[in-house]
């Protein structure tokens, strides 16, 4: 029963987040900036300290973990630069679409989910 309630809460929070974004479409750039800041803060204040403590507790070398963080950042940066045709002056261009952005976003989310579930399966 608890699993169903958590799944329902996840579903509802996703729907409410989408409705929030649609409602405040004119302020979407500010909302995206805020969420990017939250993600970066979570990385620096939660995940990296956890990496440090786990490696030191288990007497492991931290170098591979930090290299993985850097390569992960670079990979995302490169994929983003490849997917985006131009980054500013949207109003100067004729009406157009960015079909690769959606495809790359969906692929990235799928890959992320795969890795997440693989980690959960390994722990279980």
How far, in whole angstroms, is CA 49 from its chain's centroid?
19
Supply 31's token pair.
């909302």
pLDDT, one tens digit for every residue, the chain (124 residues): 888 888 899 899 989 988 988 898 888 888 888 988 998 898 889 888 988 898 999 998 989 988 988 998 898 888 777 776 666 666 666 676 766 777 777 888 888 888 888 888 888 7
pTM: 0.53
In our burial notation (b when 16+ CB lie closer than 10 A, e otherwise), range 81-109 reads eebeeeeeeeeeeeeeeeeeeeebeeeee
pLDDT score of 15:
92
Q: What phi, psi does 102 have (nearest 5°)?
A: -65, -40
């Amino acid at each position: 029963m608890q699993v169903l309630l958590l799944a329902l809460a996840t579903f509802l929070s996703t729907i409410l987040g989408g409705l929030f974004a649609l409602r405040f479409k004119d302020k979407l750039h500010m909302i995206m900036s805020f969420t990017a800041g939250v993600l970066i803060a979570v990385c620096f204040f939660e995940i990296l300290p956890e990496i440090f403590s786990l490696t030191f507790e288990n007497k492991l070398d931290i170098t591979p973990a930090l290299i993985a963080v850097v390569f992960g950042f670079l990979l995302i940066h490169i994929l983003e630069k490849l997917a985006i045709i131009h980054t500013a002056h949207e109003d100067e261009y004729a009406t157009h679409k960015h079909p690769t952005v959606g495809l790359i976003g969906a692929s990235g989310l799928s890959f992320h989910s795969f890795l997440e579930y693989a980690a959960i399966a390994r722990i279980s």
